[in-house]
Structure 1
Amino acid sequence: MTPGLLIAAPASGTGKTTVMLGLLRALSQDGVSVQPFKCGPDYIDPAFHRAACGRASFNLDSWAMDAGLIDAIAAQSAGADLVLAEGSMGLFDGVARPGATGNGASADLARRMGWPVVLVLDASGQAQSAAATALGFKSFDPGLNFAGVILNRVASPRHESLIRKGMEAMGIAVLGALPRRGELVLPERHLGLVQAMEHPDLERALTDYAAFVRQHVDLGAIRDCARGAAAQGAGRLPDPPAQTIAMASDAAFSFIYPHLIEGWRRAGSRVLPFSPLADEAPAEEADLVWLPGGYPELHAGAIAAAGTFLSGLVRHAQTRPVHGECGGYMVLGQSLIDKHGQAHRMAGLLGLETSYARRKMHLGYRNARLLAPVGTIAGGTCLRGHEFHYSTIVAHDDEPLAEVTDANGDAVAETGSRRGLVSGSFFHMIAPVS
C-alpha cells in the first residue's frame, strides 16, 4: 500500500489547509506523485487538492462509508509515491453514535489506514505550553502513530526556540515551524472556502504556499514519516443511478462527491456535464438529470433568466427522472428568495419555496430510507449522507422522498420531496447502505 500521512489539527482554523496545499504543491514540484484525500464530508477542499498536485482527491468518511467502500476509495492511490490526507475539524472530533466504521473522526481513518499523524498546531499566544497540547494528542489514542507537529503562526525566532524546547522535553518531533503570514489566507464564504474554480489567482497562491512550506518545513522528514497498512479487503464504488447522466456543473452546481462520479464512470455510465449558468440545457440523450448542490442562492437571478436551461429541465422531467441535492433541490422548486429578500422563479417542478434571507445553519450526518426510487436507486434503499446549508424551507406541498434521521437516530423534518419523476433533498448522498 502507498505510504501516507494524515495532516490534522486540534481544531478548525489552525491553518491545516494552507499546510496541506503547500505540501502537495512543493512535493509535486520535487517530482513526487502525491495522492490527496479529504477526511469527512467536504465538497470544496478536494478541488483545491487537485489543483495543487494534479491528482483527483477523494473523500473518506468513517461514519458514512463501510469498510469495502473505504478500501475501494483508498485504492485510488495506486501508482502514487505518497498519500496525504487532510483531516476535518479536530483530530478526534466526530459524532456520539458511531456509523459504518467509526464516528466520523479523522483519527478513525488514520488508525485504519496506518497513516501517522502530523499535527498542525497554532502556536499563537503560547510557548512551552504548546507541548502540553501536542502531548495530549499524542497520548489520547495509543492506537495512533503520532509523527510530530508543524508549528503555525510562530511570532519570532525566540518564540520558535521556546516551543521547540518544550517539544524536545516531551519527545515530540517538530517537522516545521511556519512564521505568521496574514496574507496567506484563502477567501471564505458561508459554506467554507471560496471554490477553487472561483479563486482569482489560484496558481499564484499555490506557488506561494509551496515556497512558504518549502522554506519552513522539512520535506524529507515528512516523507520519511509516511507509513501505510495493507488493504483490509476488497470493495467497490457506488453504482450509478442511470446509464447516461446529465450533470449540472459550474460555480452554482459543484457539490458532488468525487468517488460517486468515479464509481458511475467505472460502471460504464456516461456523465455529461452542462452549465445552467451558461444557459445550457441537459443533454437530450440523458436518462437522468442530476443537479448537485452548490451556490444557487448567489446566482438566483442568472438561473431564473436561464430559459434554455429551465425549459430543457422541464422537458426532460416529462419522461425521465430529475434529481436535485441541496442547492439543486432548491432550483427544482417554485422560487428561491435571495439574501435581499427578492424571490426568483425557479423550475417549478416541485412545490418547494426556499429562502436564503431566512438563514439558519443545518449541519450534520443523515440516514435516509428512500420512499421512492431516484433513477435506478430503488425505493427502500438506505443512504448515508450529509447536510450543510443555511437556506430554509418557506413552503412545500409534495410527498416526502425519504424517512430521514440524524446521526443520533432522531427524525429530521427535511425529508426531501418527490412529484412525478422529479425528486430532491437537502442531504447529499455519500453512499448506499447494504
Structure 2
Amino acid sequence: MTEAPGLLISAPSSGTGKTTVMLGLLRALTEDGLRVQPFKSGPDYIDPAFHRAASGRHSFNLDGWAMGPGLWQAVTAQAKGADICVAEGSMGLYDGVATRGQQGFGSSAETARAMGWPVVLVLDVSGQAQSAAATALGFKQYMPDLPFAGVILNRVASPRHERLARLGMERAGLPVLGVLPRRGDLALPERHLGLIQAVEHPDLEAAIAGYATFLREHVDLTAIRAAARGHPLPAASPLPRPPAQRIAIARDAAFSFTYPHLLEGWHAAGAEILPFSPLADETPDPKADLVWLPGGYPELHAGRLASAEHFREGLRAHAQTRPVHGECGGYMALGEALIDKEGTRHRMAGLLGLVTSYEKRRFHLGYRRAVLKAPMAGHAPGTALRGHEFHYSTILEQPDAPLAAVADADGTPVPETGSLRGPVSGTFFHLISAEETA
C-alpha cells in the first residue's frame, strides 16, 4: 500500500472562508514543489474545478452516503503518486443526513476519520475573541477519535483581536496554524447554487495566486505540512464503467456539472468522450452511441438555447435510434419549455414533456436514492442509484412515464421521479454511483 498523508480543511459552517483557504493552500504547496492531490468531501460538482485550477490535478469527491467501499477505494486510489492530499469539507464539519447511506451519514468528519486526515478548522472569529476557542474545543471533542491538526483564525480585525483569540486557543490547548486578517476582496463570486463555475471566473488564475500569497504571509505552511497524516492508500480498483463506448457530452457554461470520478472512469475504460456546445448551437457527434446533457445553468442561457436550432435538430435525430439522457439542467433542456425568473417561456428540445419554471423559485436540496423502472444510460431496470439534487426550479408539467421511484436520504418519496419517453430519459438528481452488492 502507498502512503499519502493528508489534511481536511473544514469549518463550523458554510461561509467561513474555507474555500479560499483551500485554494490558497493547494497553490502554495504546489508552488513548493509538492504533488498535491485535492479532494472534496460530499456532493459538490463546482469546487473540484477550482481545486484543479489551483493544483493542476483532478479533484475527486468522497461521499460516505452515496459511495460504497469499492467506489471509495477506487476514488482514494487516485491519490497514487501524490506527496500530500488536501480535502475540502462541505457545510459544517459534522453536518450529514439523518439516515446512514452506503457507508455513513455523509459528513466531512467521517471522511477525515476514514482517511486518517487531521482536520484544519477554519474559524471566522469576527465578533468574538476568546469565545472562539470554546467553539473550536467543542468541535475537537465532539468526536474524540477524529484527528485534529489545529485552527486557522479568519477575518481577524486587529493585532489586539489576534492576541485575544490566540490566548483563548492557548488555554484550550489548540494549535493556531494561521491568522488571516480581514480582507473584503477574498470572497469568490457566487450565485444561487453557490460559487460561479471556474470557467466563468473573470480572472481565476490571478485570484488563486493572490490567495496563495496571502496564505504564505499569514499561515505556517511548515506546521501544516508536518501535521499531515493518513492511512495507507488501497490498491487501485476500477472507477465506474462508461454507459456507452462513444459518449457525446454537452460541455459549456450551461452544462458542466458532472462528478469527476465518473468522467475519469469513462476515460480509463477507453470510452470516447465527444464534447459539444449547445450554446454554440453545435450538434452532438452523429457517431455517438449516447448523448449526455449534464446539469448546469440552462436558466441563465434559456434564450440562446431556445434559438439553437442545429443543436435541437441534432438531438432529435440522435433520439430516433439511440439514447439521450439529461441530469437536472440537462433534464430541463430536454423538456418542452423552461420559464425563466421573469416569467418568459423558452422552447426547449421537446424530447420530453417536462415544463419547468424559475418564476416561483423553490429550493430542492438533498441526497436521492432512485430505483430504476426502466433502463437508463448503462443501468438496467431495478438498479438502485445514489445521487444528489440541488436546484431552484419548479415542475409545472411532467406528463411522461416516471423513470424511477425516488426517495430522499431518509427514505421519504419525492415527486421528482425523472421522466422517460422512448430512448430519452432525464432526472433531477446528479448521479454519483450505483449501489454496490455484497
TM score, norm. by length of structure 1: 0.99
Amino acid at match of 1:174: V
Q: Aligned AA for 1:287? A: D
Secondary structure at the aligned position of 2:295 is classed as: coil
Q: Secondary structure at the match of 2:350?
A: coil
- 1:235 positional shift: 4.1
Kindly provide the amino acid, as one letter, of the partner of residue 113 in structure 1. Answer: M
> 2:331: which partner in 1?
329
Distance (whole Å) between structure 2 residues aligned to residue 267 and residue 68 of structure 1: 16
For residues 93 and 235 of structure 1, the distance between their equivalents in structure 2, rounded to whole angstroms, comes to 29
**Counterpart selection for 1:44 from 22, 46, 51:** 46
Match for residue 83 of structure 2?
A: 81
Closer/same/farther in 2, CA of residues 61 and 200 from structure 1, 3 Å limit: same
Cα-to-partner distance string for 1:188-222 (whole Å, 9 max, x where unaligned): 00101011100011111111111111100001111
Q: CA shift at 1:380, angstroms? A: 1.1
Indicate the SS of the match to 2:257. coil
- Determine the structure 1 residue equivalent to 2:10: 8
1:261 pairs with 252, 260, 263, which one? 263
1:207 is aligned with what amino acid? Answer: A
Q: Which runs of 5+ in 2 are unaligned?
A: none
Superposed displacement of residue 268, structure 1:
1.7
Alignment of 1:32-431 (within 5 A): 32-231=34-233, 235-431=237-433
Q: Deviations over 1:329-351 (max 9, x none)?
A: 00000011111110111100001
Distance 2:256 2:324 in 1: 17
Query: d(CA) in 2 for partners of 1:235 and 1:105?
Result: 24
Identity of aligned residues (%): 70
Q: Deviations over 1:355-377 (max 9, x none)?
A: 11121000000000111111321
Letter aligned with residue 395 of structure 1: E
Cα shift readout 1:115-157 (whole Å, capped 9, x = no counterpart): 0000000011111111111110111111111100000000111
- Structure 1: give runs of 5+ residues left out of the alignment: none
Paired residues of 2:80 and 2:233 also in contact (CA < 8 A): no
Aligned residue for 2:146, secondary structure, equals coil
Tell me, in whole angstroms, the C-alpha distance in 2 between the residues paired with 1:383 and 1:374: 10
Structure 1 position 233, deviation (Å):
6.8
**What is the SS of the residue equivalent to 1:200?**
coil
Cα pair 1:68 1:234 within 8 Å, conserved: no
Contact 2:294 2:329 in 1 (8 A): yes
Tell me the CA shift for residue 232 of structure 1: 5.6
- For 1:231 and 1:32, how far apart are their aligned partners in 2? 18
1:234 Cα deviation after fit: 6.0
SS at match of 2:9: strand
CA contact (8 A) 2:77 2:234 kept: no
The amino acid of 1:380's aligned partner reads G
Q: Distance in 2 between matches of 1:286 and 1:369?
A: 27
Could you tell me which amino acid in structure 1 is paired with residue 412 of structure 2? D
Q: Is the 8 A contact 2:247 2:272 kept in 1?
A: yes
Q: How far did residue 231 of structure 1 move?
A: 3.6
Q: Over aligned residue pairs, what C-alpha RMSD do you find?
A: 0.9
Alignment of 1:23-34 (within 5 A): 23-34=25-36
Q: Per-residue deviation at 1:43?
A: 1.0
Query: How far is 1:422 from its partner?
Result: 0.2
Specify the code of the residue in structure 2 equivalent to 1:240.
Answer: P
